[in-house]
């Protein structure tokens, strides 16, 4: 191997493995989980079923769905030690930091934490996917100075999350919206956080370590943190009529507009299109805050597409319209990225389990540009 090797900055365009989980067509703006289009799944399915699909590679029959829901439900409660940790720290750190720490605490409560058989890893996946939702709900409660609400085993995943967050059973339309958001965020091939999971797991670190790595990577505003940042921008814009000047000024100052652009999509992100559709349907009859946010989002989107859509291939991504939709179901801004992690934990686990079937340590190269063979000079003589 020579130093003449091409450097793909940001690993752009580099394939590192094969996978049968997800297809992202960045030119056509299409997304498929295990062969099913995201439009089909978001219209007809729910998060539990999509999780089963991602983990098992096929849609469940009635019995399989029932058993899977039961196994998810059984894993929902949180250990006392973790609830105390959340109460103690939820107001001191960003919820993503609390979530990441809680995921890395899970081995303390799992007798098979270091059993790396495929069966144990599958059970751990269900544990992580199920418990992460409870962790985020508990963080939301603690940040609002409210006590932990234990899960209700009779409820589905999205419904139970809202119940644990708010302490009351949610309206069916809230559950539907959250289910769709979770489906849309569940998987996206080798995005930065999934790659982070696989890098950690490729060393044969355990599943909890790998998912903790994924949570760390997701936090950044260039990745999962963009949803919170996009909503903050909308609040900063304040009034719909301020939108164009705000965006023009930001672009003139070479700032990035959060919720736009994507490494793979050079057209409209199909997930953003679905979320935008929901936002449009929410506009009438809702709160003033929501109407204002929706109008700002629509005006920002129009301007960004005019300025950067065709010319630079910068279009809305999944994170742009998510904020106002979460606001419509009462999710606080700081929980957006943690909720993204709750959803993506199913894709992370599916990928890790698949990669381990044919594991190879991930270890790229860097081209060295420093000096060589320097003489060592004693500290007092430098």
Which residues sit at the interface with ligand ACO, rule CB under 6 A? 10, 191, 222-224, 226, 256-263, 312, 314, 317-319
Nearer to ligand ACO, 202 or 337 (CB): 337
- Which residue, 127 or 262, has its beta carbon nearer to ligand ACO? 262
Question: Which residue, among 13, 19, 8, has the nearest Cα to 194 in the 3D structure?
Answer: 19
The single residue of 157, 262, 269, 351 carrying the catalytic annotation is 262
Minimal distance, residue 359 CB to ligand ACO, in Å: 25
Provide the b/e sequence for 17-33 (b: ≥16 CB within 10 Å). Answer: eebebbebeeeebebbb
- Nearest CA among 344, 76, 120, 312 for reference residue 225: 344
- 15 or 368: whose CB is closer to ligand ACO? 15
Catalytic residue among 223, 249, 269, 373: 223
Query: Residue 330: which of 208, 184, 163 has the closest Cα?
Result: 163
Closest approach of Cβ 322 to ligand ACO, in Å?
9
CB 327 to ligand ACO: min, Å:
18
Q: Is 179 a catalytic residue?
A: no
Query: Distance (Å, rounded) from C-alpha 269 to C-alpha 278?
Result: 15
| Residue 4 CA, distance from chain mean position | 37
For ligand ACO, give the closer residue by CB, 170 or 347.
347
Of 163, 134, 141, the closest CA to residue 332 belongs to 141
The position carrying tokens 């700032």 is: 255
Catalytic residue among 110, 179, 269, 319: 319
Q: 252 vs 377, which CB is nearer to ligand ACO?
A: 252
Nearer to ligand ACO, 68 or 260 (CB): 260
Minimal distance, residue 53 CB to ligand ACO, in Å:
20
Residue 256 CB, shortest distance to ligand ACO, in Å, is 4
Minimum distance of ligand ACO from residue 331's CB (angstroms)? 17
* Residue closer to ligand ACO, measured from CB, 29 or 60: 29
Q: Which residue is nearest to ligand ACO (CB)?
A: 261
Instruction: For 236-266, give one letter per residue: b (16+ CB within 10 A) or e.
Output: ebeebeebeebbeebeeeeeebbbbbbbbbb
Known catalytic membership, residue 94: no
C-alpha angle with apex 288: 282 to 290, nearest 5 degrees? 40
Q: Residue 25 and residue 15: Cα distance in Å, rounded? A: 14
Least separation in angstroms between residue 8's CB and ligand ACO is 12
Active site residue 351: no
Of 304, 335, 351, 371, residue with least CA distance to 55: 351
Q: Which residues are catalytic?
A: 223, 262, 319
């Amino acid at each position: 191997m020579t130093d003449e090797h091409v450097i793909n900055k940001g690993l752009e365009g580099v394939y590192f493995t094969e996978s049968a989980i997800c297809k992202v067509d960045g030119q056509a703006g299409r997304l498929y989980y295990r062969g099913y289009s995201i439009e089909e799944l978001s219209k007809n399915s729910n998060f539990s079923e999509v999780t089963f699909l991602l983990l098992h590679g096929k849609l469940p029959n009635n019995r399989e769905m029932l058993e899977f829901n039961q196994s998810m439900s059984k894993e929902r409660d949180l250990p006392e030690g973790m609830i105390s940790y959340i109460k103690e720290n939820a107001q001191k750190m960003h919820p993503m930091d609390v979530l990441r720490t809680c995921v890395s605490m899970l081995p303390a409560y799992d007798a098979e934490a270091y059993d790396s058989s495929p069966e144990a890893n599958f059970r751990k996946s269900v544990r992580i996917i199920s418990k992460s939702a409870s962790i985020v709900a508990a963080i939301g409660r603690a940040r609002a100075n409210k006590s932990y609400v234990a899960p209700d085993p009779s409820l589905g995943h999205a419904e139970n999350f809202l119940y644990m967050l708010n302490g009351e059973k949610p309206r069916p339309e809230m559950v539907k919206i959250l289910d769709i958001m979770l489906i849309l965020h569940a998987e996206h091939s080798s995005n930065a956080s999934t790659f982070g999971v696989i890098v950690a797991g490729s060393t044969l670190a355990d599943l909890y370590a790998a998912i903790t790595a994924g949570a760390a990577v997701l936090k950044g505003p260039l990745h999962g943190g963009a949803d919170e940042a996009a909503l903050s921008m909308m609040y900063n814009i304040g009034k719909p009529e301020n939108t164009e000047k705000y965006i023009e000024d930001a672009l003139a100052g070479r700032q990035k507009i959060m919720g736009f652009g994507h490494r793979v999509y050079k057209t409209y992100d199909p997930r953003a299109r679905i979320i935008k559709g929901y936002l449009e349907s929410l506009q009438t009859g809702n709160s003033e805050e929501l109407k204002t946010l929706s109008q700002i989002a629509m005006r920002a989107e129009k301007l960004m597409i005019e300025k950067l859509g065709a010319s630079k291939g910068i279009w809305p991504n999944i994170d742009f319209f998510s904020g106002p939709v979460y606001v419509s179901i009462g999710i606080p801004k700081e929980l957006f990225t943690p909720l993204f992690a709750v959803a993506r934990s199913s894709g992370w686990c599916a990928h890790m389990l698949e990669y381990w079937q044919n594991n190879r340590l991930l270890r790229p190269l860097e081209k060295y540009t420093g000096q060589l063979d320097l003489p060592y000079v004693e500290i007092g003589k430098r």
